Structure 1
């Protein structure tokens, strides 16, 4: 009888997890906000009604945008990229809790060194979080969508709100198969584990605080300032970085089942 090791078990569990996502992703993406379904595993809600946490993320992502790109007066795509990443970190922290360090909201002159977390019981072990957004996967080319539908940016936001959350099941399955992440060489070399997150919510300009340079609520069509703050994300899996190739596409099928990460982390303590 062939030997079954821990990697084969986690890969088999990941196959079942992907089947679960294919079956449920349409339900997850039907509405924005909290998802509270029986049997849903590894689904984390971030900033649920926590305006202070939202403000902290916005401040940090604005400062990074200003630092690396200066003041922008068009749609701040860089801000959104930073925020998607920070929501992913918040999701992982919520899941692993006291096993890992707190989220770092400090601004460093030369960056954070490519490390997101470390194990509290072994600070030499670092973890990297890579987050992708369902919305970004669905609409990879912003400009092509605008051209195809003849929309301006404001109309595009409204169109996405009404359309992408009601995908047919076969379309959802296609998107699931397209979800991917990448890790660069520095991130691989400086971390022992990488955790992969899928953000379900849109992160568009309605999440940006009112005084972000050049963006106003009248421009966006949102007359109210108070917005229900919540993001939902799925922890899709993990992988030891020595098993990852830098700068190559990493898909759901390539990951280990996230439910095994606590047991794997015990290896380092």
Structure 2
């Protein structure tokens, strides 16, 4: 059995467990978990950043659209940040205010190794992730996060799913 067949089998198992509600859930930072819950002060801080971005780009795009787009992305980044903890760089909102250049994190031990996070909202049987060739070139792995709740200012917590990852280098 090659590794692609193994990954497809694991992905099929994950989808079955996601639809049945039997996911692995660990609240300890730095530990593996398929489910991460974000709420409270952490969600408040993410929203504040997203409103800043919406204000910055209000002349170009509708404010609500910018807010929602940034919130989806930041929720996904928070999942990866919590799961990989000290293995990756900290999300620095001030430093990344102008954009991340298709690299969301780098490894603490080797800053030349990038990690891209792709967050998508929808049902597991309909949602799709697209990855550009530039993202593949700049990152060693692309992590896919699934958001099933509506993304809005009113949502009090999010149950985010680590839906999978794509290694971009095979050496």
Counterpart selection for 2:91 from 96, 103, 112: 103
TM-score between the two structures when normalised by the length of structure 1: 0.54
Counting matched residue pairs gives 164
Matched, 1:201 2:128: no
Cα displacement (A) at 1:12: 1.5
Cα displacement (A) at 1:64: 1.9
CA contact (8 A) 2:55 2:63 kept: no
In the alignment, what sits opposite 2:70?
82
Counterpart CA distance in 1 for 2:158 and 2:150 is 9
Cα displacement (A) at 1:23: 2.6
Counterpart selection for 2:115 from 127, 141, 152: 127
What's the secondary structure of 2:145's corresponding residue? Answer: strand
Q: Using a 3 Å threshold, how does the CA distance of structure 1 residues 187 and 67 change in structure 2: closer, same or farther?
A: farther
Counterpart CA distance in 2 for 1:199 and 1:56 is 18
CA contact (8 A) 1:188 1:241 kept: yes
What's the secondary structure of 2:112's corresponding residue? Answer: strand
Map 1:120-159 to 2 at 5 A. 120-134=108-122
Gaps of 5+ in 2: 26-32
Matched, 1:115 2:103: yes
Cα displacement (A) at 1:189: 2.1
In the alignment, what sits opposite 1:62?
51
Counterpart CA distance in 2 for 1:38 and 1:105 is 31
Higher normalized helix content (fraction of residues) = 1
Counterpart CA distance in 2 for 1:184 and 1:69 is 26
Counterpart CA distance in 2 for 1:122 and 1:82 is 27
Q: Using a 3 Å threshold, how does the CA distance of structure 1 residues 67 and 241 change in structure 2: closer, same or farther?
A: farther
Q: Using a 3 Å threshold, how does the CA distance of structure 1 residues 38 and 117 change in structure 2: closer, same or farther?
A: closer
CA contact (8 A) 1:104 1:116 kept: no
Counterpart CA distance in 2 for 1:38 and 1:188 is 28
Q: Using a 3 Å threshold, how does the CA distance of structure 1 residues 63 and 23 change in structure 2: closer, same or farther?
A: same
